[in-house]
Chain A
């Protein structure tokens, strides 16, 4: 290859690398990213992420530079010396004592620097890890119990007054600027709570209460995801955190505390009857009706949620219908059995479920 050809290839490679890196960086912003923090905890986590990134990048760069230097020097020596010094088969080649001392010093220095860097990073990681939990303030905190189940999240808003406790699923609303304490537990296997923009990860271990706290400092929608492999539908075990202004949050809480809306049209009334006489009633609760089972998600305000089936489907009538009739096609292995309803009953049921704002 000619000199010009080499230079052109080199320039093209550099540009392709830069392009690839900038494309990758766009993945860093968004609703599920550690690098787009929306709270003080996540801020600290992202800072330590960048510290690790810069230190590791500098080390990598230095290593590459020294490696290239070594290659270059080797080539220069080869050209200058013309031939390789004879090596005695038995004794090996005796290196220059001066050169050997220099090499020993370099290796020792590099090792010491590596140890210092690792030590600093360990201490930084440890102290930030501690600061995430030690500054936990129970005062004025919103307390929420999150129970991981295969494969969805049960969310229970606690209150000193038992009448004000309410359930929801796969969606956590939090007020901006107020600490939130999460009590985590699991009913079956180990799950892990992770909202990259806010907090995490923390494992949900069956029979063991874990506590974690966070605060959101700006309104927004943040996606969370189970971060511990928990079975067939682990990938479809997501949830959304809705950070909103305290006024909006209070309005949401007041609405969620209500019993389910009474059916107002004939279709909705028939839908309620279908719900109560079909297998739905074996697993789900609709507060204010005889349905009170706690195996599946609480559906008292199902129509107010953003998604269905733990972040798998947008909450629309079509998706809801598909989910009711054939959930195993959408999320194979999940715990919801198929339901075959005649078309009129199904439409009435959908009317009813969609009225549960």
Chain B
């Protein structure tokens, strides 16, 4: 066989192999390991309002690479009534989730513990009510609301009438820690 043809075949095979990686985007892992029983233990005082945040190194949430997981997060966001306080990202009763302000940290692990532990002044604790797999899905969706997840993974459409562009067309905010919610800022 001519070496040129061999190279072309090799290249084609390589491209095909590379495109296989894209399949992960839609991988649906229905039967995740059931949540461990020990998750439901009650933490005595993990809450640190103000600047005494527990230091969490940057974490990675595999669900942020999976379009199905993010869309499940989007469904659960309404199903579990997150939208009841945070609305569809703009905030109202609770702080907005589509901006660059993170009162308790914008890292996936921060969001996970915000949902599981609750936060002072209104955010209830969902410990034992939502299993870990679903909390990670919710955390991935919450970050997609300010454009923190890949464009090809973020939801591109809404099932209902919606007042703002989809998560896919949201521009990426540069998260910054703000320890005072905007709603609580003193007038200057």
Contact = CB atoms under 8 A, between A and B. Distances in A.
Contact of A295 (B34, B79, B128, B159): B79
B131 A188 contact: no
Q: Is the interface of A mostly helix, strand, loop or mixed?
A: loop
Interface size class of chain B, counting residues whose CB lies under 8 Å from the partner chain: 10 to 19
11 contacts: A277-B128, A279-B129, A279-B131, A283-B79, A326-B31, A328-B32, A332-B30, A337-B133, A338-B31, A340-B34, A340-B36
A279 B37 CA distance: 12
Contact of A282 (B28, B80, B159): B80
B35 interface: yes
B131 A338 contact: yes
Contact of B159 (A188, A329, A337): A188
B59 to A, nearest CB: 22
Interface residues of A, number: 20
B164 to A, nearest CB: 21
Given A295-B79, A340-B37, A342-B37, A281 B129 contact: yes
B16 to A, nearest CB: 27
Interface of A: 188, 277-279, 281-283, 295, 325-326, 328-329, 332-333, 337-342
Q: Is the interface of B mostly helix, strand, loop or mixed?
A: loop
Interface string B18-36: 0000000000101110111
B37 A337 contact: no
Given A282-B79, A283-B79, A329-B31, 10 more contacts: A188-B159, A279-B129, A295-B79, A328-B30, A328-B32, A338-B31, A338-B32, A338-B34, A340-B34, A340-B35
Contacts of A278: 128-129
B62 to A, nearest CB: 17
Contacts of B32: 328, 338
A329 to B, nearest CB: 6
B134 interface: yes
A188 B78 CA distance: 13
B130 interface: yes
Contact of A332 (B31, B129, B134): B31
Contacts of B128: 277-279
Nearest to B80: A282
Nearest to A278: B128
